[in-house]
Amino acid sequence: MFKTIVSGIFVILSASSCQKNEEAPDTPDLPSIAPVPAEAITQFSGQRAFDHVKTLTDFGPRPPESEGYRKSLDYLEKQLHELGWKTKRSSFQSETPIGRITFTNLIARYAPHSEPDWRLSPPILIGGHLDSKRYPDKVFLGVNDSGSSTGVMLELAHTLSRYQGSALNVELVFFDGEEAILENMVFRKDGLYGSTHYAQQLRKRNTLPSLGIVIDLVGDPNVNLLIGRDSSPTATAHAQQAAKTLQLEKQVTLAPGSILDDHVPLIVFANLPVLHLIGDFGKMPYWHKEGDTLDKITPAALENTGKLTLQVLHQLTQKKN
Ligand SMILES: [Zn+2]
């Protein structure tokens, strides 16, 4: 994830972002396959999410094409398959400032008894990046950025699969290449490789999701979880209502400005309404530094994010009378 802060305001550098805000679609009513029950929210385990992050950390740095990334993909597939999810590796090449790189997104659907129809989309997409930022000269483990969202997504898969109909509402996608190769992310030039490819492929499907939820940097208990300003009005209202229901209003607040992250290609290339949830990285002195280690995150913070996401899903999938 990339930040620019000017006088405490987050801004996007890309010129296209101006258009994006005007064009960003709102979230329509969701054609829920099966409601996510309130009971599911209480089942999310921050400890299980944390244990996943710890395992990923043990694989070492996870930049694109690395051994750590390959081990992480294998681990995710094994975990998801055991829970009844089918997975698809989506590999592609992109030009980067250091030449062509092969990236691999991992897409997952709950389908214990058959192969899912990948041309159709469930109503809700949940995405987060798996890659860690590439540093040729230092060991960067990327525990919060973004082992944290990966751990939360694996535990979401676990929780939703206990309520089988609920899991059918969701596609999970673990993005590769979110991080810029050079120091700073520049939209359409460096960074967001995986989400850009995914969004472009999504447009070729017969149906699109109704909402894309993107989570990033969600494990630090000492900073707020921000609702990104590019989130659709309806999704923002749902996230605020969910925070209130879970008594997390103080910890879950609106971002002061737009933040460039994996949700932007979903809006720009697939016209998806989004909910962007991101930890307040401006208050993380270890952000993109070697100090992004396991001691910076807690099971409780991961659990808050997981429960908030499930509460939003619960609200979105309730039948309206
Ligand atoms: Zn980052």
Rounded to the nearest angstrom, the distance between the alpha carbon of 131 and the centre of ligand 1 is 9
Q: What is the DSSP string of 207-256?
A: S--SEEEEEES---TTSPEEE-TTS-HHHHHHHHHHHHHTT-TTTEEE-S
Q: How far is the CA of 288 from the centre of ligand 1 (A)?
A: 6
321 has a pLDDT exceeding 90: no
pLDDT at 218: 98
Q: How many A from CA of 102 to the centre of ligand 1?
A: 19
DSSP structural state of residue 296: G
The DSSP letter of residue 199 is: H
Q: What is the pLDDT of residue 85?
A: 97
Q: How far is the CA of 193 from the centre of ligand 1 (A)?
A: 13
Q: Residue 295 C-alpha to ligand 1 middle, in angstroms?
A: 17
**Gap from CA of 83 to ligand 1 centroid (Å):** 29
Measured in angstroms, how far is the CA atom of residue 179 from the centroid of ligand 1? 6
pLDDT above 70 covers a percentage of the chain that reads: 90
Asked whether residue 6 carries a pLDDT value surpassing 70, the answer given is no
Mean pLDDT of 7-27: 43
CA of 117 to the centre of ligand 1 (A): 32
Mean per-residue pLDDT over the chain, rounded: 91
% helix, strand, coil for the chain, step of 5: 40, 20, 45
- pLDDT of 3 over the 50 cut: no
- Over range 25-34, report the average pLDDT: 70
Nearest C-alpha neighbor of 92 from the set 2, 201, 251: 201
Does the structure show a pLDDT above 80 at 9?
no
Residue 42's pLDDT is: 97
Q: How far, in Å, from the CA of 132 to the mean position of ligand 1? A: 7
- Whole-number Å distance, alpha carbon 180 to ligand 1 midpoint, is 8
**Ligand 1 being an ion, which residues bring their Cβ within 5 A of it?**
1, 145
From ligand 1's centre to the CA of 73, what distance in Å?
19
* pLDDT digit string, tens, across residues 122-179: 999 999 999 999 999 999 999 999 999 999 999 999 999 999 789 999 999 999 999 9
The pLDDT of residue 320 is 63
* Nearest partner of 79 among 9, 172, 15, judged by Cα: 172
pLDDT tens for residues 225-258?
999 999 999 999 999 999 999 999 999 999 998 8
Confidence band, pLDDT 50/70/90 cuts, at residue 30: low
What pLDDT shows up at residue 225?
98
CATH superfamily of 5-316: Zn peptidases (3.40.630.10)
Residue 28: the pLDDT is 65
Query: Quick one: average pLDDT of 56-73?
Result: 98
Report the C-alpha gap between 212 and 87 in whole angstroms. Answer: 18
pLDDT attached to residue 31:
63
Q: How far is the CA of 284 from the centre of ligand 1 (A)?
A: 12
Rounded to the nearest angstrom, the distance between the alpha carbon of 133 and the centre of ligand 1 is 6
- pLDDT average, residue stretch 173-190: 96
Task: Return the pLDDT at 29.
Answer: 65
pTM: 0.92
Q: So what's the pLDDT on residue 18?
A: 33
Separation of CA 216 and ligand 1 centre (Å)? 9
Q: How far is the CA of 135 from the centre of ligand 1 (A)?
A: 12
Structural Rg of the chain based on CA atoms: 18
- Average pLDDT (300-320) is 93
Residue 310 alpha carbon to ligand 1 centre in Å: 24
Half-sphere exposure of 53 (CA within 13 A, CB side): 37
Please check the confidence at residue 8 and state whether its pLDDT lies above 60.
Answer: no
Residue 266, SS3 per DSSP = helix
Residue 32 has pLDDT above 80, yes or no: no
- Ligand 1 centroid from CA 281, angstroms: 9
State pLDDT tens for residues 75-91: 999 999 999 999 999 99
| Interval between CA 289 and ligand 1 midpoint (Å) | 10
Looking at residue 211, its pLDDT comes to 96
Q: At what angle do helices 193-202 and 263-270 cross, to 10 degrees?
A: 30
Q: Please give the distance, rounded to the nearest whole angstrom, from the Cα atom of residue 62 to the centre of ligand 1.
A: 12
